[in-house]
């Protein structure tokens, strides 16, 4: 984006354009506006809806930052009112270019329509690493037009811009494919319950969301992932991220990871004496659990200071103890800790909710 802005300003016919950079998260806006200092152009960042209206109404060139939420009338310091929108036809000029970051999300609904209504004759360029091709939502190309340029993962690997992405498929037996299977399993598990108790259980745990947020399932997954992390990731000094199905699930994963860590440390300390006496040749012929405990014991010091945190969006209905994960200042602290090498900071696992992206 910064390169494009600088290139535009080098072309006399395009210098008169007002360039509006639109993001959908505060952290993205902060990062991009800091990078945009490289353009050498004064940056105008709208912190209020009224300020964005004023900047967009101004004639002539400029470099304006405004979050897409403000096109609904949202202020960071007040409760949003979905019925309130930014004014229509703020600036009918054709000399306006809107650059949209993360164009695959937040632009398939009325927010983007409000943007077009406010700047009806603007040109738009969307940037995204994951365009919507086939989905219930509108395709990205339908909103922004045909692709101007593509830069594939394969090209980035050849250029050494990114490192290879490795996938390891692990099966979580938590998906129900047939309703009959679920009914039979339900009858087996709760055969000792009376009809009224069964009806209450069905009512409480009837949805896919309830299943994915179930504490017992999350506990089992967290323990499995912690073992995988210690076996495959920790020896290389790396950290890990976990994507949860919801905000509640993210919070529960943090609790489950920390509880699993505590149990593992106790198990290792109880086995420490005889594990230390095992030589590597002997361990190779022992069971998988013993091999794991022998490896984990070498990382016992790191495990003691290993920490887990969540980064989730905020909602006024949240429980009070969720604020440690949803508060923006706390999030900045956790992200900065996570970015540090493992030997400097023990925050090794960061859990975030699905469909919300955080740039580090």
pLDDT 10s digits, 218-275: 898 999 999 999 999 999 999 999 999 889 999 999 999 999 999 999 999 998 888 8
Across 76-90, 98-112, 210-224, the highest mean pLDDT is recorded for: 210-224
Range 80-93 average pLDDT: 67
pLDDT more than 70, % of the chain: 82
Which residues are within 8 A (CB) of 258 and not within 5 positions of it... i.e. 6 or more apart?
308
- Give ∠ CA 46-52-53 in degrees, rounded to 5: 165
pLDDT given at position 205? 58
pLDDT given at position 209? 64
DSSP 218-271: HHHHHHHHHHHIIIIIGGGT--EEEEESSHHHHHHHHHHHHHHHHHHHHHHHHH
pLDDT given at position 183? 64
Q: Return d(Cα 254, Cα 156) in angstroms, integer.
A: 33
Q: What are phi and psi of 146, to 5 degrees?
A: -70, 160
Residue 280 has pLDDT above 80, yes or no: no
Q: How confident is the model at residue 211 (pLDDT cuts 50, 70, 90)?
A: low
Contact (CB, 8 A) for 56 and 20: yes
Residue 76 has pLDDT above 80, yes or no: no
Mean pLDDT of the chain: 83
Per CATH, domain 2-158 is 3.40.50.300: yes
Residue 206 has pLDDT above 60, yes or no: no
Q: Tell which wins on pLDDT, 358 or 18.
A: 18
Q: What number of residues does the chain have?
A: 360
Range 198-207 average pLDDT: 67
Measured from the Cβ of residue 306, the count of other Cβ atoms closer than 10 Å reads 23
pLDDT given at position 138? 61
For 215-252, give one letter per residue: b (16+ CB within 10 A) or e. Answer: eebbbbbbbebbbebbeebbeeeebbebebbebbbbbb
pLDDT given at position 129? 81
Measured from the Cβ of residue 340, the count of other Cβ atoms closer than 10 Å reads 12
pLDDT given at position 49? 87
* DSSP 8-state code for residue 25: S
Contact (CB, 8 A) for 108 and 91: no
Q: How confident is the model at residue 19 (pLDDT cuts 50, 70, 90)?
A: very high
Per residue in 21-54, pLDDT (tens digit) is 998 888 788 889 999 999 889 999 988 888 999 9
Contact (CB, 8 A) for 190 and 198: yes
Q: Tell which wins on pLDDT, 183 or 285.
A: 285
Domain boundaries, the chain: 2-158, 208-353
Range 291-319 average pLDDT: 90
Residue 360 has pLDDT above 60, yes or no: no
pLDDT given at position 119? 92
Residue 350 has pLDDT above 70, yes or no: yes
Q: Return d(Cα 213, Cα 209) in angstroms, integer.
A: 6
Q: Return d(Cα 283, Cα 292) in angstroms, integer.
A: 10
Compute the Cα dihedral for 119, 124, 128, 132 and give only its sign: positive
Q: How confident is the model at residue 191 (pLDDT cuts 50, 70, 90)?
A: confident
Q: How confident is the model at residue 168 (pLDDT cuts 50, 70, 90)?
A: confident
Range 272-285 average pLDDT: 80
Which residues are within 8 A (CB) of 251 and not within 5 positions of it... i.e. 6 or more apart?
310, 312, 322, 325
Per residue in 120-157, pLDDT (tens digit) is 999 999 988 877 666 555 677 777 888 899 988 899 99
Q: Return d(Cα 205, Cα 198) in angstroms, integer.
A: 11
Q: Which of 335, 340, 58 is nearest to 327 (CA)?
A: 335
């Amino acid at each position: 984006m910064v390169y494009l802005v600088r290139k535009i300003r080098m072309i006399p016919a395009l210098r008169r354009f007002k360039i509006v950079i639109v993001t959908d998260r505060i952290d993205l806006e902060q990062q991009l506006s800091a990078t945009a200092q490289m353009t050498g152009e004064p940056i105008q960042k709208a912190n209020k809806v009224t300020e964005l209206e004023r900047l967009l109404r101004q004639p002539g060139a400029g470099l304006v930052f405004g979050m897409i939420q403000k096109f609904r009338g949202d202020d960071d310091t007040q409760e949003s009112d979905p019925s309130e929108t930014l004014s229509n036809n703020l600036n009918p000029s054709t000399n306006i270019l809107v650059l949209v970051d993360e164009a695959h999300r937040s632009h398939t609904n009325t927010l983007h329509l409000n943007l077009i209504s406010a700047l009806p004759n603007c040109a738009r360029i969307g940037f995204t690493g994951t365009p919507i091709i086939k989905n219930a939502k509108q395709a990205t190309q339908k909103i922004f037009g045909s692709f101007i340029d593509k830069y594939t993962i394969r090209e980035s690997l050849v250029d050494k811009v990114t490192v290879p992405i490795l996938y390891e498929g692990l099966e979580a037996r938590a998906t129900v494919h047939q309703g009959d299977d679920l009914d039979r399993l339900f009858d087996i598990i709760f055969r000792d319950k009376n009809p009224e108790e069964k009806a209450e259980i069905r009512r409480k745990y009837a949805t896919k969301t309830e299943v994915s947020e179930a504490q017992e399932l999350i506990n089992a997954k967290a323990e499995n992932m912690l073992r995988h992390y210690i076996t495959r990731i920790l020896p290389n000094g790396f950290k890990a991220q976990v994507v949860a199905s919801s905000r509640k699930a993210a919070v529960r994963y943090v609790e489950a990871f920390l509880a699993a860590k505590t149990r593992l440390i106790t198990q290792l300390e109880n086995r420490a004496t005889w594990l230390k006496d095992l030589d590597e040749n002997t361990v190779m012929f022992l069971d998988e659990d013993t091999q794991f405990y022998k490896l984990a014991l070498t990382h016992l010091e790191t495990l003691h200071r290993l920490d887990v945190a969540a980064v989730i969006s905020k909602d006024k209905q949240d429980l009070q103890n969720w604020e440690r994960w949803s508060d923006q200042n706390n999030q900045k602290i956790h992200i900065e800790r996570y970015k540090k090498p493992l030997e400097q900071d023990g925050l090794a696992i960061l859990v975030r909710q699905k469909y919300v992206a955080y740039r580090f």
